[in-house]
Amino acid sequence: MNFKYKSLFQQGALVLALLVGTTACQEQLSGQGVAKTSETGVWLTTPDKSALFQKQEAKLAFSTATSQGPTIEVDDSQKFQPIDGFGYCLTGGSALLLSKMGAGERAALLKELFTTSGNNIGVSYLRVSIGASDLDDRVFSYDDLPEGQTDPELRQFSLAPDRPYLIPILKEILALSPDLKILGSPWSPPTWMKTNNNSKGGSLKPEFYDAYAQYFIKYIMGMKAEGIRIDAVTVQNEPLHPGNNPSLLMPATEQAEFIKKSLGPAFRAAKLDTKIIAYDHNADKPEYPITVLNDAQARQYVDGSAFHMYGGKIEALSQVHDAYPDKNLYFTEQWVGSKSKFEDNLAWHVKTLIIGATRNWARTVLEWNLASDPQQNPHTPGGCTECLGAITLDGNATTRNVAYYIIAHASKFVRPGSVRIASTSASVPPNVAFKAPNGNKVLIVQNDQSTPQTFNIRYQGKLTPATLNAGAVGTYVW
């Protein structure tokens, strides 16, 4: 690593340039090292992969020097939303691949992912599917029956499909990170509850609203019996996309009806503290969660709304926040295509999601699937064939892909219980700032320009300069 130091001020202040030369590629981070979550400094990822969430040798040096350059002012007297965590969707396919690893290799990888010591990245939030997602190796629900049969009393309900892989993996993860939060999202109810009796598309029959509400409760209580607490559920993954397998069409008015007539009252009667989150789809339809929240009977049961970004603009989250500022917002899914470029994904995901979603009130940022194999398997028939995991698993061989580093830039230091704080947004590189529970300030910056950008970070009247190469991402901790 080459660093350039240069005096800009008569007081002799040093400029941190962070101009990165060639360095060993860190795609095989071992989880070893001495860094702690309370450690301060700069962590860097570059588009050419010469630095991959790599701590820099140069230190942040705040001083009373002055500068005319672009300045990011960080102000922790202005506080916004708390942060629940950053992480991934632990699909059934991800759990299957993890289960096939050797016990020692899996334990080392899970420690790297879910703890914060050394070079470990501290993932703090996971989304799992209630029943199968399209990245399971097959389609299933927890109450599958022969065609023509129904089970409104849910006598056949069973978590058996999750017992071989998902539940054991979650237990291993929770042993490492007991406070990790888990969100459950259904892709489809059992087919006998649907208008088309098919895993793909169709709508939920109103006569089975109550049965489906109890299906959620049996799931939450069944996972609790396994020692797995479900912190929140979304009512339906991508309710306006019935073309996936599995999937369900659930317009906003139907979701409001289901929540107010069945799901909300059932949760209240069962004395569940699991949150109910509406929508869970793209930012191009902010009117969907607003429609749900406009229904006062449904609103009383709803914690907030969840979003993806396959359409729309991230600023739409603030539109929902402004309409209902007492309701929370979550960003719960974004894929990385296996045919796309590392540098393009790094730039877009950090700017739009890590920075953009949190600047627009999101309490979480989750990337889509944690793990896939080298051919982007497994998936259901008709499921996603190009979803690149944050890690690629080929037996015990592990490759860390771009979503690994995207999340690492936030998850390691912006711990649950952090709060977003004010930082300059105009005429400076895209950025977002947080105050962590240990008192550290964390500033994430992305250079969205085609040339290196030098800027200043100012906090409580003191300033430190920094430079990011084109497309690079820096996490600054002090």
- Which residues are designated catalytic? 238, 333
What does the CA dihedral 141, 145, 150, 154 come to, rounded to 10 degrees?
-50
Rounded-to-integer distance, Cα 64 and Cα 357, Å: 33
Can you tell me which residue has the tokens 């299933």?
140
Rounded-to-integer distance, Cα 165 and Cα 128, Å: 12
347-385 burial, b at 16+ Cβ within 10 Å, e below that, comes to bbbbbbbbbbbbbbbbbbbbbbbbbbbeebebbbeebbe
Give me the sheet containing 71-82, strands edge to edge: 54-55, 41-45, 473-477, 441-446, 431-435, 419-423, 71-82, 453-459, 462-468
Q: Give me the phi and psi of 363, to 5 degrees please.
A: -90, -15
Q: Quick count: other Cβ atoms within 10 Å of Cβ 123?
A: 30
Per the omega criterion (within 30 degrees of 0), is the bond before 378 cis? yes
Rounded-to-integer distance, Cα 434 and Cα 475, Å: 11
